[in-house]
Amino acid sequence: MKIHTFTLGFIGLVLTFYILFIGKAIIIPLVIAIIVWYIIIALTDFYKKIGVGSWSIPHWFALTMSLLTFVIIAWLFVGFVNSNVSEVIEAAPTYQAKFQYLINDLNNRFNLEEKITFQQISEYINISTLATTAAGIITTVAGFMSMIIIYVLFLLLEYHTFDWKIKALFPDKKRRKETKELIDKVAKDINTYIRIKTFISLLTGIICYIILLAMGIQFAGFWAVLIFVLNYIPNVGSLIAVTLPTLFAVVQYDITHALIVGILLVAVQFTAGNFIEPRMMGKSLNLSPLVIIISLIVWGSIWGIVGMFLCVPIMVILNIILAKFDSTRPIAILLSSKGKLES
């Protein structure tokens, strides 16, 4: 019986990943739309709390304000990224040449038996490729924009009928109340994660931007945006976000200058990740580092670059949901960092 159950579970898992792969053109916009929808709902709740005395902002006006806020922020963000990416791509050949000169100087100074070649290093550190990749992500998301907008609109329309459907599905009042409370808890945890993670990522990006400007690092805006996006990937993302601008500082200035930049960026990431974020969330993201690495590989192979950026939010949301049900709680414990879940 156990072998039969395991076989069915394995087949179901393989079938799920196959569907995610072949249906990525439909599923990726849906996942992004759900995240956008949660952000809009969180903004709506924020605007609804604004009021004077007994008067408060009506739901329809709060929803309109949240939609406008999201559209304006998204438009400004995309414009900022595009302008910075263009500058990086234009100046990339100059810095790549400087990088090659440093490699040649390193070989000559230490008389290395096995020479380090520019081609070897450029496989891992290539400014032009990095900027092109960033532009490619925006282009990919922009290509899905029409579907994302449609999904978001339908999610917003369905949001008001959700209570009616729950009532129809669970005629028993006690069971309906338990189900509603469970759904509210899951929604609250997901909203908390997205809202606070976005705030922390933005705060980290702004502080790092100020540091990079003060240190005279070129393309400070590009690096700040990269730090903001990579901050959604705990551990791995923070490491990459610190390493790339630090290595660039070596090319632009010298090792001493780069060391100062690296120390300052590490201090910001460490403070945000180990003090501010856990305090605001009340708990860590509670994902095993091994799970993060595996999810990066799996989602990256299924959905490409977009999957790598979405993998951690997906895994965090999945872990939150799994932890709420007794039957799937053991899986959530395995995915957690220390085997402990919030009660």
Q: Which of 113-117, 158-162, 274-278 has the lowest mean pLDDT?
A: 113-117
273 lies in the same domain as 291: no
pLDDT of amino acid 273: 80
pLDDT of residue 106: 64
Total domains in the chain come to: 2
Residue 174 falls inside a structural domain: no
Domain residue limits at 258: 188-277
Does 172 reside within a domain? no
Whether 271 and 215 map to the same domain: the answer is yes
pLDDT at 204 over 60: yes
Task: Indicate if the alpha-carbon torsion angle 91, 95, 100, 104 is positive or negative.
Answer: positive
Q: Are residues 266 and 293 in the same domain?
A: no
Q: For residue 60, tell me if it sits in a domain.
A: no
Q: Is the pLDDT of residue 160 over 90?
A: no
Last residue of a domain, one of 262, 277, 292: 277
Q: Is there a single domain that holds both residue 292 and residue 269?
A: no
Mean local confidence (pLDDT), 196-217: 90
CA atoms of 248 and 99, how far apart (whole Å): 9
- Indicate the helix (H) or strand (E) that contains 52: strand 51-52
- What stretch of H or E contains 88? helix 59-110
Three-state DSSP at 56 gives strand
Is there a single domain that holds both residue 252 and residue 311? Answer: no
- Packed helices 220-230 and 236-252: angle between N→C axes, nearest 10 degrees: 160
| Same-domain status, 240 and 269 | yes
CA 287 to chain centre: 14
Question: Has residue 45 got a pLDDT over 90?
Answer: no
- Same domain? For 233 and 313 the reply is no
* pLDDT of the residue at 174: 81
Residue 201 lies in a domain: yes
Residues 6+ apart with CB under 8 A from 210: none
Residue 116's pLDDT is 54
Q: How far from 172 is each of 103, 177, 259, CA to CA, in Å? A: 72, 9, 64
**Residue 84 pLDDT > 60, yes or no?**
yes
Question: What's the mean per-residue pLDDT of the chain?
Answer: 77
Task: Pinpoint the alpha helices (H) of 170-288.
Answer: 173-214, 220-230, 236-252, 255-271, 277-281
Query: How many CA atoms does the CB half-sphere of 13 hold within 13 Å?
Result: 7
On whether the CB atoms of residues 133 and 15 are closer than 8 A, the answer is no
Q: Give the domain-ending residue among 277, 299, 323.
A: 277
Q: Are residues 271 and 291 in the same domain?
A: no
Tokens of 52: 């004077």
Co-location of 311 and 245 in the same domain: no
Domain boundary among 277, 299, 317: 277
- The pLDDT, as a whole number, for residue 125 is 54
326: amino acid identity, one letter: D
- On whether both 303 and 257 belong to a single domain, the answer is no
Q: Are residues 260 and 298 in the same domain?
A: no
Q: Give strand pairing partners of 55.
A: 52
pLDDT band at residue 110 using 50, 70 and 90 as cut-offs: low
What pLDDT, on a 0 to 100 scale, did the predictor assign at position 199? 87
Residue 206 in any domain: the answer is yes
290 part of a folded domain = yes
Longest dimension (CA), the chain: 80
Mean pLDDT across 255-280: 86
Task: Provide the 8-state DSSP code for 111.
Answer: T
* Rounded average pLDDT over 54-78: 82
On whether residue 13 sits in a domain, the answer given is no
Whether residue 306 is contained in a domain is answered as yes
252 and 199 belong to one structural domain: yes
For the four alpha carbons of 41, 46, 47 and 48, in that order, the dihedral sign comes to positive
